[in-house]
Structure 1
Amino acid sequence: MNWSYRLTRIAGIDVNIHITFYLIVILGALQWGLSNGLAGALFGATLIVFLFACVVLHELGHSIVARYFGIQVREIILLPLGGLALMERQPEKPLHELLIAAAGPLVNVIIAAVLIPVVGATADLTVLNERGMVPGVTHTPSFTILLIWLVEANITLVLFNLIPAFPLDGGRILRALLAMFVGYPRATRLATIIGQSLAIFIGVFGVLSGNFILALVAVFIFFGASQEGREGKARTVLHTRCVGDAYNKHVLTLTIGDRLNKVIDYILTSSQRDFGVMQGQNLLGIVTRDEVLQALSTSSSPDIYAPDVYVQLVMRRDVTRVNATTPLDEVRQLMLEKHQRVVAVYDGETYLGLVSLEDIQEAFVVLSFLERYHESREKPTTTGGATPTTSG
């Protein structure tokens, strides 16, 4: 089931909405409708829509600056807890990441700056309202109330997103600033530690003050920082090797004349899951274990014996190609973007083999241990504080 669908397209970027987003609209309508009737319900739903329009503009700020630096944005998706701009890759330069991260909150600053004078012009400045905000405003739905909520929301978005912790914009700004001096790997580690520390502080404060929403925010920040730390570690480690170092050089292959029976035998007698279908030295497509199982489970015709079906009838021809010199982190990112767990490795026009996400994960594990081994070898060691001497 597809849980999100396209809402609109702005500046060449698809804006998709998750189906659970409507829960927030319904909650907004209920909150205002309980005290203000049908008019309040309509106002509440409208308010939520406008609030998320500000979120879309926030994400567009990120997206437009990212595209300026040559980073394509696949989509913006609206979720119940906010928005997310999905970029094809991470910025390579700290300055680029800094500007991309700062662009979102800057949009909200501009929106608030535009709306505040409008609120001042439409509100009664002689009486303080019961909310203690802008004079002359009550809880009764009105145009001014709508503007006040939008001002509050945009200011909140700015302050919240500038918390220096992943996965918030402030965490990315912090990493970008640190990376200008200590490089991306160390900057990511430092930003992760700072973010987790802030999350613990916010969580403890939230629990002690009885503000459990704040405590939940702290949990979100802590796990978000942890995830970004792991992702940063993976990018750093995998960038040290090319895909030509990690693809499986000793694999079983198929020809267009082979049948599924042969693939089944290969699956039963080896740990291989993906098989290239060859015509001479040329790759025509691939057959995966999952595709074989699907062919067996969906073949219901009594006249067709599924294991006798030719592999060319079930193979996938749209195989993504990568050059053997491409860093592993870039290949991994490409596979995640295209939702393909296996790609073909080429040296120019010469087919070399296949590499899967599992292969890259295995490479990450081995390279991580290798990195720690080298780090331990480089650390100076002493024995009992004694200075080595030689005797003649």
Structure 2
Amino acid sequence: MFLTEPNHTPYDLHFSLFKIPIRIHPMFWLVAVLLGFNGSDPKTVVLWVATLLISILVHEMGHALVIQWYGWSPSVVLYSFGGLAIHNPYVQSNFGPGRGRRNKWTQIIISLAGPGAGFLLASLIIAITWGTGLAQYEVTTFGETMVPSGYNMNPSDRLLTYPYIALWLDFMLYFNIIWGLVNLLPIFPLDGGQISRELFQMFDGGLAIRNSLVLSLICAIGVAILGFQYDRKFIAIFFAFMAIQNYQDLNGSNRSGGNPW
């Protein structure tokens, strides 16, 4: 169900970016508000919703732009579980210089493009705030290269004057870095799970789907346990639900002997 496009409603918001149609389902707004709800400070809820909107849209546009480059015609949907970049394999894009260059790595590149776009956005935020002195960063030196290994958004006098800007930048870095890394875990239907499935299909023959699902199930259970252990109930429930879905897909794959998708 995570990869199922939600039904259209009269309350959908429609627009386009780079000729790519985008639809925001009303459940996106509801779930975003619930996840960031803070009755004592409603402004933080607005900041959190803005963070999810921008970050998930950037993530899905990363997928969509690479899909477009490969010659397909993509669209993006934001909904309750996050977002989907959808393409019709039978409709070609007029904007894709990569048409005809598809190979066995195509889906892996498309899957990596989403988290990669989020990491790029986080890097831009770090570069701008670090370069302008709006934030201070702990620095780790690799040879002659200095890499920020931690950050503090509060020391700048300019940011102290605008604490909500500092909080929003903190939200943006957290979501695009931490959730970008989580999204690369080999758990289906996350991007990492789809990458894992493609790699198994390249190198593991007829057992590829089953083995990718076994790995996905083990990882999902492990993250769910950690979520409960560290009192991150939403993470625990979210990954427990994915573990159940993977278990059901694994049983279906075992029964049919083929690809459950």
Q: Do both share a fold (TM > 0.5)?
A: yes
Aligned partners of 2:72 and 2:257: how far apart in 1? 17
Question: Where has structure 1 moved over 6 Å in runs of 4 or more?
Answer: 137-140, 231-235
1:58 aligns with 2:59: yes
Aligned partners of 1:235 and 1:57: how far apart in 2? 37
Q: How many residues align?
A: 225
Who wins on radius of gyration, i.e. which is larger? Answer: 1
2:96 aligned residue: none
Aligned partners of 1:25 and 1:237: how far apart in 2? 33
1:104 aligned residue: 114
Instruction: Map 1:93-242 to 2 at 5 A.
Output: 93-120=103-130, 121-123=132-134, 125=136, 133-136=152-155, 141-183=163-205, 185-226=206-247, 230=252, 236=258
Do the aligned residues in 2 keep the contact of 1:119 with 1:144 (CA within 8 Å)?
no
Aligned partners of 1:233 and 1:122: how far apart in 2? 59
Aligned partners of 1:188 and 1:233: how far apart in 2? 12
Gaps of at least 5 residues in structure 2 are 1-6, 91-101, 138-150
Q: Secondary structure at the match of 1:45?
A: helix
Do the aligned residues in 2 keep the contact of 1:77 with 1:84 (CA within 8 Å)?
yes
How far the C-alpha of 1:134 sits from its partner, in A, is 3.4
1:281 aligned residue: none
Q: What amino acid is aligned across from residue 51 of structure 1 in structure 2?
A: L
How far the C-alpha of 1:53 sits from its partner, in A, is 1.7
Do the aligned residues in 1 keep the contact of 2:32 with 2:52 (CA within 8 Å)?
no
Aligned partners of 2:230 and 2:88: how far apart in 1? 41
Q: Secondary structure at the match of 2:186?
A: coil
Q: What amino acid is aligned across from residue 151 of structure 1 in structure 2?
A: L
2:40 aligned residue: 34
Do the aligned residues in 1 keep the contact of 2:12 with 2:25 (CA within 8 Å)?
yes
Taking every aligned residue pair, what percent have the same amino acid on both sides?
Answer: 24
Q: Secondary structure at the match of 1:173?
A: helix
Aligned partners of 1:122 and 1:77: how far apart in 2? 36
1:67 aligns with 2:68: yes
Moved more, 202-211 or 149-158: 202-211
How far the C-alpha of 1:161 sits from its partner, in A, is 0.7
Distance 1:124 1:181, change over 3 A: closer
How far the C-alpha of 1:144 sits from its partner, in A, is 2.7
Aligned partners of 1:209 and 1:147: how far apart in 2? 25
Do the aligned residues in 2 keep the contact of 1:8 with 1:16 (CA within 8 Å)?
yes
Distance 1:82 1:25, change over 3 A: closer
How far the C-alpha of 1:188 sits from its partner, in A, is 2.0
Aligned partners of 1:21 and 1:186: how far apart in 2? 37
Q: Secondary structure at the match of 1:20?
A: helix
2:17 aligned residue: 10
Q: Secondary structure at the match of 1:9?
A: strand
How far the C-alpha of 1:55 sits from its partner, in A, is 0.8
Distance 1:84 1:237, change over 3 A: closer
How far the C-alpha of 1:106 sits from its partner, in A, is 0.6
Q: For residues 273-310 of structure 1, what are the alpha-carbon distances to aligned partners after superposition, in whole Å with 9 as ceiling and x for unaligned? A: xxxxxxxxxxxxxxxxxxxxxxxxxxxxxxxxxxxxxx
Q: What amino acid is aligned across from residue 176 of structure 2 in structure 1?
A: N
Aligned partners of 1:71 and 1:134: how far apart in 2? 41
Do the aligned residues in 2 keep the contact of 1:25 with 1:45 (CA within 8 Å)?
no
